[in-house]
Amino acid sequence: MFWSACKFNNGNKVLPIYGSREAVTKVVNGQKVTDTVYQTIPAFSYINQYGDSITNKNLDGNIYVADFFFTTCPSICPVMHRNMLTVFKAFKDTTGVKIISYTIDPGHDSVPVLKKYADKLGISGNSWWLLQGHKNETYQIAKSYLVSVQEKNGQGEYIHDGYFILIDKQKRIRGTYDGTKPEDVNNLIADIKVLRAEPVAPAAK
Amino acid sequence: MKLKIIFGISLLLAVLIVSCQNEEQLEFTHYYSSGKLTYQTKCQNCHGANGEGLQGLIPPLTDSAYLKLNKATLACSIKHGLKGKLTILNHSFEGEMPASDLAPVEIASVLTYITNSFSNKLGTITSQQVETDLAKWK
């Protein structure tokens, strides 16, 4: 019966885990154990707006929100970052919550350009990093965030998704939100609170 | 009899004045409402639903004094874009607003919307006015 799979909604929201997954069977203490291995964000190495090297290790133990943008974007980036600013203001004094924005135009968006952008946006401190790295690496890592980005088209425009991706401490994808819609971004803020309250499961071995 | 004629004429005048006002009002409403749609699809991402701009990156559209002072060049700025330093509400902005492919009538309606929203009040900017301004400024 289908309905029997539905659990009573007791108000305790649990966020889903997105991405591909596979069942891995191992022998532990002589017993066969099957575990689900979820898609995670792979290792990366970037430079932030302060010129500091930032890798996946700098995000260990953090919940974070990621997006992809470029500073000269005339279309959706301003509205995305107007909305991301709401997320920033909600959590800037909360340890363990970070925001990272990968530039998809690293040729133009150098460290000083990113710093100037951050200053004008009114963000300071270390809770929102703007990251510059190798273009190919960024395009690859976008896929692991389930975000689509493409090279410049004939009109010199980059076509890219305006999604905000919520990543948990185990680097798994726990939510995707349309960064151009304020109501979606309110859901993101609520989900970050849910995720922060989630008991940390023992890491899959 | 005389009184009747005077009454009749003044009634006629009153009707004419009211319908004239109505026509103006109608024109404004027409420009304003189609301008709102254009604003939402072409301007709002950057300038915001309330014309608030984006921090130090994108200027707000709430500087009535600036809009009034630059009324004649607004159409040109929308058509050909805007580049360089700009002082809006005592804040300095630099950057670039891209050119647009809007027709004069669309520029007129979006300008009517902008200059009569966000506590601005400059009245209707007609398509003819935009054509005149575009011919004058490049």
Per-residue model confidence as pLDDT tens digits over B43-100: 999 999 999 999 999 999 999 999 999 999 999 999 999 998 999 999 999 989 999 9
Residue A9 lies in a domain: no
A165: enclosing H helix or E strand: strand A163-167
Residue B55 lies in a domain: yes
Residue A172 lies in a domain: yes
What does the pLDDT read at residue A15?
92
Mean predicted lDDT score pLDDT of chain B:
92
Least confident of A53-67, A68-82, A109-123, A162-176: A68-82
Residue identified by tokens 């607003």 is B97
Residue A168 lies in a domain: yes
Chain A hits for B46, Cβ within 8 Å: 74, 78-79
d(CA A108, CA A102): 13
Residue B69 lies in a domain: yes
d(CA B130, CA B74): 9
Residue B12 lies in a domain: no
pTM above 0.95, yes or no: no
Total of domains in chain A: 1
CA-nearest residue to B91 within chain A is: A120
Total of domains in chain B: 1
Residue B42 lies in a domain: yes
Top-confidence residue, A42 or A22: A42
Whether residue A19 contacts residue A172, with contact meaning beta carbons closer than 8 Å, is answered with yes
Residue A184 lies in a domain: yes
Residue A156 lies in a domain: yes
B55 vs A120: CB contact, 8 Å cut-off? yes
Domain carrying residue A176: 42-197
Structure tokens at B98: 């891209």
Residue B6 lies in a domain: no
Whether residue A35 contacts residue A204, with contact meaning beta carbons closer than 8 Å, is answered with yes
pLDDT digits (tens, 9 = 90+) for A66-77: 999 999 887 788
The CATH number linked to B109 is: 1.10.760.10
- The ipTM estimated for the assembled molecules is 0.78
- Closest partner CB to A78 (pick from B46, B56, B96): B46
What does the pLDDT read at residue A77?
86
Chain A hits for B54, Cβ within 8 Å: 78, 81-82, 121
Residue A75 lies in a domain: yes
Residue A11 lies in a domain: no
* Closest chain B C-alpha to A114 CA, distance in angstroms: 12
What does the pLDDT read at residue B17?
75
d(CA B89, CA B66): 8
Top-confidence residue, A149 or B94: B94
The CATH number linked to A121 is: 3.40.30.10
d(CA A192, CA B42): 32
Residue B8 lies in a domain: no
Residue B86 lies in a domain: yes
Residue A47 lies in a domain: yes
Domain carrying residue B106: 27-136
Contacts for B51 with CB less than 8 Å, ≥ 6 apart = B60, B61, B62, B114, B117, B118
